[in-house]
Amino acid sequence: MNANAVIPIDRPEFVLERVFNAPRELVYKIWTDPLYVKQWWGVDGSTITLCELDVRPGGTFRIDMKASDGTVYVNRGVYVDVVADERIVTRDERDMREAPGNIPAGVHTVTFDDVDGKTRVTLTSRFEKMEDRDLMVRYGMVAGITQSLKRFEQLVTTIMQEGEQS
Amino acid sequence: MSLIFGALAHPARRQILARLAKSDASIGELAEPFDVTVRAVSKHIGVLERAGLVTRTRAAQKRPSHLDTATLRQAHEWLDAYRVLWEKRFDRIDHLLEHEQNGGSRT
């Protein structure tokens, strides 16, 4: 698996990268065509009951996800920027805090880069609304470190190791 | 917003957390191995406290600082869940791409 999660130390971002063994146009199509998005968007055990994507700057999207317990979660937002085959920026309209995954509203930038016939997809999520007091409490202060993972894990590991050594 | 983040970004504060991972310690004990004043350590502890990473006992006279690993763990768990969510989506996209390129039709 060639996905990498990165945590920039100076920005409130979460970055995930993956190289797909397919041409950029096809990857872009799978990312933007509702017929495909329906098949990959949900979480385990869920089904997508509605998927409307108006993929152009200013266009809106709506994806209804029916969880395994029957609850339907509506994921709505707007396409802030769209450059076909290259770049998509979306902004969530509402929090999905109650949904599986506890996802707060964010701005997501996806870039598609051609790498010798393969396609590198980079997802960058910014959770600006994490500043909400309410969210801070709910997520414990995950807020500032949404960007996390690898880097955060490293920090925690380093802290624990330093503790063991001293 | 970046309370924990900012707290972890400073090397001195990471050292303090590392020390506290071993055992609780008073401000004086924390300042000892470092070439810093008690006041500087006190300031760092304040930052760590506000981030929820460290708690301080009010009862004892020395008010020892205590590493609250629950905060670290909570943050870590949420981030990990978000990463897993997207990795699973990427896996499904991978399968769709494979299917498409093998001449399969939409299902």
Delimit the domains of chain A by residue range: 4-165
Is there a contact between A36 and B78 if contact means CB atoms under 8 Å apart?
A: no
Q: What residues of B are in contact with residue A144 (Cβ under 8 Å)? A: 1-6
Domain assignment of residue B78, given as a range: 69-107
Burial class (CB in 10 A: 0-12, 13-18, 19+), A130: buried
Distance of CA B27 to the CA centre of its chain: 21
Contact at CB, B52 and A27, closer than 8 angstroms:
no
State whether B33 and B84 are in the same domain.
no
B40 with B20, same domain: the answer is yes
B37 and B82 both lie in a single domain: no
**pLDDT tens, A26-68?**
999 999 999 999 999 888 788 999 999 999 999 999 999 898 8
In CATH, what number is assigned to the domain containing residue B13? 1.10.10.10
Residue A78 has pLDDT above 90, yes or no: yes
In this structure, the answer to whether residues B52 and B12 fall within a common structural domain is yes
> The whole model's pTM is what?
0.65
Residues B75, B54, single domain; the answer is: no
Task: Calculate how close chain A gets to B66, using CA atoms only, in Å.
Answer: 13
Give the CATH class of A4-165: alpha beta
Element containing residue B8 per DSSP (H, E): helix B3-9
pLDDT tens per residue across span B26-49: 888 888 877 778 889 999 999 888
Mean pLDDT, chain A, rounded, equals 75
> Do B60 and B82 share a domain, yes or no?
no
Half-sphere exposure of B38 (CA within 13 A, CB side): 6
